[in-house]
Amino acid sequence: MYYILKNMKPQRSKERMLKGIISILILDELIDSPLHGYAIEKSISEKLGKKLPPGMIYVMLKTLEIKGCIESEETKGKTGRSVKIYHITDSGKNLLKEHLEQLEKLKNLLDEIIERVKHKI
């Protein structure tokens, strides 16, 4: 484990982690209903408390679409312009299920760290 952490490039590792988190957030956004990219980006930015890098959400949507986790459908928006509406596929739902245990472990670990810091500072 030490060898892996020692040889990871911090910026690359941080970028991969952010992309993984955003992928899960995108899939989570689409569980309840199909959405267009701007709505997904706005919701995720609000959850993270900061704006995503320009265009990042659309790169992530395309990647998830290529992987078969989401599908898109072009339709006319309120202004008459063409918009892509994204929805989660069974493959995307399965991906979330597969990561559920890891997410729960991470949540528990973060909860422990938060509690320790609260009591020691």
pLDDT tens digits, 64-117: 999 999 999 998 878 888 999 999 999 999 999 998 888 899 899 989 999 999
Delimit the domains of the chain by residue range.
Answer: 2-120
Rounded Cα–Cα distance for residues 41 and 25 (Å): 10
Q: Which pLDDT value is given to residue 11?
A: 65
Residue 17 pLDDT greater than 60, yes or no: yes
* CATH topology assigned to domain 2-120: Arc Repressor Mutant, subunit A (1.10.10)
Alpha-carbon distance 115 to 42, whole Å? 30
Mean pLDDT of the chain: 88
Distance between CA 23 and CA 44 in Å, rounded? Answer: 10
What is the model's pTM? 0.79
In the chain, % helix, strand, coil (3-state, to 5) comes to 70, 15, 20
Q: Which residues pair with 88 in a beta bridge?
A: 70
pLDDT of residue 69: 97
Q: Which of 36, 43, 40 is closest to 83 using CA atoms?
A: 36
